[in-house]
Structures are given as structure tokens and as C-alpha cells.
């Protein structure tokens, strides 16, 4: 019985973390462009024009 006192909160906390992470990613627009994200990984990150004109992205 004593095990529950830390096991259940841990299980519950982990689940809650996953839920929060999903909600955050949804809100941050990570699912807005699934096709684009797959292609963007191939982009050359040192490309100056995109980087300088997009601070904060």
C-alpha cells in the first residue's frame, strides 16, 4: 500500500507531462505544416537571408 504513495503520483505526473508537451506543441504550431517540416530538415542552416530575416524562429 505504501508504494502507491510515490508510484501513482509518478505515473500520473509522467502522463500529465506528456499531455502538457502535446498541448504546447499544438499551440506552438508544430503540426501546422507536417509536409514542410519533413523538407526543412534538408535545408542548409547557414543560409544567411532566411536566418537574418527571421529572428526568433
Binding site for another protein (CB under 8 A): 1, 4, 8, 11-12, 14-16, 18-19, 22-23, 26, 31-36, 38-40, 42-43, 47, 49-50, 53-54, 57
Least distance between another protein and beta carbon 23 (Å):
6
Nearer residue to another protein within complex by CB, 6 or 47 = 47
Sign of CA dihedral 23, 25, 29, 34: negative
Record the cell numbers describing residue 47, joined without a space.
Answer: 543560409
**Do the beta carbons of residue 25 and residue 31 sit within 8 Å?**
yes
Nearer residue to another protein within complex by CB, 6 or 39 = 39
Taking the C-alpha atoms of residue 22 and residue 16, their distance in angstroms, rounded to an integer, is 10
Amino acid at each position: 500500500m505504501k508504494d502507491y504513495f510515490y508510484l501513482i503520483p509518478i505515473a500520473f505526473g509522467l502522463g500529465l507531462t506528456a499531455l502538457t508537451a502535446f498541448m504546447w506543441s499544438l499551440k506552438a504550431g508544430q503540426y501546422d505544416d507536417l509536409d514542410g517540416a519533413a523538407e526543412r530538415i534538408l535545408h542548409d542552416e547557414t543560409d544567411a537571408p532566411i536566418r537574418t530575416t527571421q529572428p526568433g524562429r
